[in-house]
Amino acid sequence: MKKDFECTQESYAREVLREKGLKSTAQRLAVVHVLHTSRKSLSVGEIHDRVKDMLGTTGLATIYRTLEMFEGLGIVKRLHFPDGGHGYAFSQGEHVHHMVCVDCRGVFDFPECPVENFDYASVEKQGFRVKNHFIQLFGQCVKCAEAA
Amino acid sequence: MKKDFECTQESYAREVLREKGLKSTAQRLAVVHVLHTSRKSLSVGEIHDRVKDMLGTTGLATIYRTLEMFEGLGIVKRLHFPDGGHGYAFSQGEHVHHMVCVDCRGVFDFPECPVENFDYASVEKQGFRVKNHFIQLFGQCVKCAEAA
DNA sequence: TATCAAATGAGAATAATTTTCAATTGGGCT
DNA sequence: AGCCCAATTGAAAATTATTCTCATTTGATA
């Protein structure tokens, strides 16, 4: 494939894919590029549109397949919005949390884990063994706060 | 309407609805009852089926409309699962968090907020103003842990 | 108990996602 | 550089999920 773009994230994705014996196709790398260069999270349709802009024709099913695969690999994260919608954001590595601007759907990463120091003891009293968590912070980004 | 069931949650819902000038219909109260008496979170289809069992014919659109409304009122919470699916659980009051069993989709509430003592300062340095959060803990409940 | 805005049901319409399968392609091997 | 083949893709159909429309019903208030 020809390369119209280049970035560390692209090579990161290549690497993860190769480790798993998966192919680095133009479509997959385009999805990475699109998500990584967007400051806001994107819907499936938006990703599809942007990938089509890059590569010409691209099947929607491929986008779905790629996103599902990438989510499993920790390359992208699916985010849920208060209005019920959802979108995807690039996410290098497993344990990163995200702040989402409720106005522009902009995504901001942060590595600190808010529940790191939380004592699960009281919660696990019920017998529930916590293994994982999903956290999203909602609020306003600087731009949207200024615009308001 | 006739009552085949009775519980505090029903009166709680009635109260919230009345305060907002919304009607306490049989369908709405049935949704509350179904969700409250289920230890696991339910999909829209499951809720529809159970409400139909209670009331006979019930439109699917009504279930969607009710769930959306209830979510806004803080009566139910929409939960998201790692496999991409989602479900609903009863949730009395706004700020309750949930543990979800990844095996049976059972839901366990806990009132302690894991991020209560988290210092957002480092995160807000980026200019982002945190207003809200969504947290779900994943793991295994006692039953599923024993069964495994 | 009459009234009426709010809510419902049924099904059509739309949107979102998955499946199927023939055609294409990336990556390893000469 | 060219061959091979399993992995991947595209296109369209199929399925599933959600929303909309509008005629009919119903809860709450007087």
Mean pLDDT of A37-45: 96
Find tokens 């120091």 and name the residue. Answer: A117
Q: Which residues of B touch A141 (CB under 8 A)?
A: 127-128
Q: Which residues of B touch A127 (CB under 8 A)?
A: 141-142, 145
Size of interface A-B (CB pairs under 8 A): 110
Q: Which of A67, A65, A49 is nearest to A57 (CA)?
A: A49
Q: Which residues of A touch B114 (CB under 8 A)?
A: 114-115, 118, 133
Query: How far off is chain A from B143, nearest CA to CA, in Å?
Result: 9
Residue B112's alpha-carbon distances to A28, A123, B116, in angstroms, are 41, 8, 8
For residue B8, the tally of other CB atoms under 10 A from its CB is 9
Task: Strand C: list positions under 7 Å from protein Cβ.
Answer: 6-12, 16-20, 25-28
| Structural contact between residues A120 and A129, judged by C-beta atoms closer than 8 angstroms | no
Which pLDDT tens digit goes with each residue over A96-144? 899 999 999 999 988 888 888 888 887 788 889 999 899 999 999 999 9
Q: How far apart are CA A132 and CA A124, in angstroms?
A: 13
Which pLDDT tens digit goes with each residue over A59-83? 999 999 999 999 999 999 999 999 8
Q: Which of A57, A6, A61, A60 is nearest to A29 (CA)?
A: A6
**Which residues are registered as beta bridge partners of A130?**
B139
| A52: nearest nucleotide, CA–C1' criterion | D10
B148/A144: higher pLDDT: A144
Q: Which of B120, B139, B122 is nearest to B130 (CA)?
A: B120
Contact (CB<8Å) B123/A117: no
Share of chain A above pLDDT 70, in %: 95
Q: Which of A134, A133, A83, A135 is nearest to A105 (CA)?
A: A83
Which residues of chain A form beta strands (DSSP E)?
Answer: 76-80, 86-90, 97-101, 107-110, 129-140
The length of chain B is: 148
A21's CB contacts (< 8 A; 6+ apart) are none
| Architecture of the structural domain at B8-147 | Orthogonal Bundle (1.10)
Which residues make up the interface with nucleic strand D when CB must lie under 7 A? A 22-23, 25, 27-28, 55, 57-62, 65-66, 84; B 1, 17-18, 23-26, 43-45, 60-61, 64, 68, 86
Output the pLDDT for position A2: 42
CA B8 to chain centroid: 16
A127's CB contacts (< 8 A; 6+ apart) are B141, B142, B145
Q: Judge whether residue A4 has pLDDT over 50.
A: no
B45's CB contacts (< 8 A; 6+ apart) are none
Q: How far apart are CA B83 and CA A71, in angstroms?
A: 10
- For B101, the closest chain A residue by CA position comes to A128
* D20: residue with closest CA to C1': B61
Q: How far apart are CA B7 and CA B10, in angstroms?
A: 5
Output the pLDDT for position B123: 79
Which pLDDT tens digit goes with each residue over B109-118? 888 888 888 8
| Structural contact between residues B6 and B25, judged by C-beta atoms closer than 8 angstroms | no
